[in-house]
């Protein structure tokens, strides 16, 4: 019987792919905490649980009429970001896939009443919420990416997670889930961006957005996923990245409102030109994800 052996809300902010010299220059001479956070997750979590598969909920992969799951045997090539080609250019990637699990995920998601397809087209674009995490944490596991349907709401995202959990349970594999994206996600206007590149959370776009993030981080720490899910309407005013679909799909796979997994921060809560950035990891509780 397969199982989910860990899950995390993980930042993929482009800053992590810049050189240390540039990162330090942007951040008042200090390293951002996200970089050591990646290494800590790899060493203290992934090297311990040894997953067979990593599933990434990718907030930059926006689909319209359905969810999509990558079902390639392998994805390989070089990645240049159309958004930030100066900072992310010709990055090599070579990610093993798991077509069998991917197809099973799609079958189970469709059984939940949610349209979803498995795609193994070699020309299917890859996005940096997957690339950046893999750059720091991939060690030969299979990596599968899941899109965020731009038209989906809370219930659809939770249902996707439920379907994925059922496929994992039948797979016989150990799987880690990574919700790749930020919390509140509003950028400063173009002419002000350069004034807010420091990681200090005082630069988060608004005091209200920062406090809303802190409230949810406190809920994560207590394992109170029900409060996060049941207060999404309020949180949407602070524009969480991808409408927080990455978290909601992950949470759905962990039991939704019944999930009691406590979150541990593996980085500080940081700013990036107005947006929030943080790594939060959820270990599987001894009595299961739902207590």
Convert the pLDDT of each residue in 138-164 to its tens digit: 999 999 999 999 999 999 999 999 999
Assess contact for 254 and 225: CB atoms under 8 A: yes
How far is the C-alpha of 8 from the C-alpha of 57, rounded, in Å? Answer: 10
- DSSP secondary-structure letter at 46? I
Assigned domain for 49 exists: yes
Residue 189 has what pLDDT? 97
pLDDT band at 291 (very low <50, low <70, confident <90, very high): confident
Give the span between the Cα atoms of 31 and 63, in whole angstroms. 34
Residue 289 lies in a domain: no
Q: Is the pTM of this model over 0.95?
A: yes
**Cβ-based neighbour number of residue 221 at 10 Å:** 13
For tokens 């299979």, name the residue.
Answer: 142
What average pLDDT does the segment 106-130 reach?
98
Is the residue at 264 inside a domain? Answer: yes
User: Does residue 291 fall inside a structural domain?
Assistant: no
Could you tell me if 147 and 114 are in contact, meaning their C-beta atoms sit under 8 angstroms apart? no
CA distance 191 to 188: 8
Task: Classify residue 288: in a domain, yes or no.
Answer: no
According to DSSP, residue 45 is labeled I
198: pLDDT strictly greater than 90: yes
Cα–Cα distance for residue pair 200/211, rounded to 1 Å: 14
Q: Is position 103 within any domain?
A: yes
pLDDT given for residue 27 in this prediction = 86
Confidence of residue 28 (pLDDT cuts 50, 70, 90): confident
Count H helices and E strands in the chain, helices first.
Answer: 10, 12
**How many separate domains does the chain show?**
1
For residue 58, is pLDDT > 90? Answer: yes
Position 254 pLDDT exceeds 90? yes
Find the domain containing 37 and state its range.
3-283
CATH code of residue 119: 3.40.830.10
Ramachandran region, residue 113 (left: φ > 0; alpha: ψ -120 to 50; beta: rest):
left
């Amino acid at each position: 019987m397969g199982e989910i052996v860990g899950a995390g809300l993980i930042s993929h902010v482009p800053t992590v792919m810049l050189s240390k010299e540039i990162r330090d220059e942007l951040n008042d001479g200090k390293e951002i905490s996200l970089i050591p956070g990646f290494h800590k997750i790899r060493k203290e979590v992934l090297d311990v649980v040894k997953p067979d598969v990593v599933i990434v909920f990718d907030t930059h992969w926006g689909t319209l009429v359905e969810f999509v799951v990558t079902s390639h045997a392998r994805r390989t090539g070089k990645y240049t970001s159309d958004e930030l080609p100066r900072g992310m250019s010709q990055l090599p990637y070579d990610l093993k896939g798991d077509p069998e699990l991917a197809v099973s995920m799609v079958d189970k998601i469709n059984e939940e009443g949610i349209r979803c397809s498995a795609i193994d087209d070699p020309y299917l674009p890859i996005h940096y919420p997957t690339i950046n995490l893999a750059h720091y944490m991939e060690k030969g596991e299979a990596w599968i990416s899941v899109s965020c349907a731009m038209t989906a709401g809370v219930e659809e995202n939770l249902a996707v997670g439920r379907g994925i959990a059922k496929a994992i349970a039948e797979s016989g594999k150990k799987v880690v889930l990574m919700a790749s994206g930020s919390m509140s996600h509003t950028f400063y206007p173009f002419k002000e961006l350069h004034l807010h590149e420091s990681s200090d959370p005082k630069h988060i776009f608004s005091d209200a957005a920062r406090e809303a993030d802190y409230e949810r981080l406190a809920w994560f720490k207590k394992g109170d996923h029900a409060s996060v899910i049941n207060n999404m309407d309020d949180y949407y005013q602070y524009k969480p990245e991808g409408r927080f679909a990455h978290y909601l799909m992950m949470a759905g796979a962990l039991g939704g409102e019944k999930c009691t997994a406590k979150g541990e921060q593996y980085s500080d809560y940081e700013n990036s030109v107005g947006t929030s950035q943080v790594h939060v990891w959820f270990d599987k509780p001894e009595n299961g994800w739902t207590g």
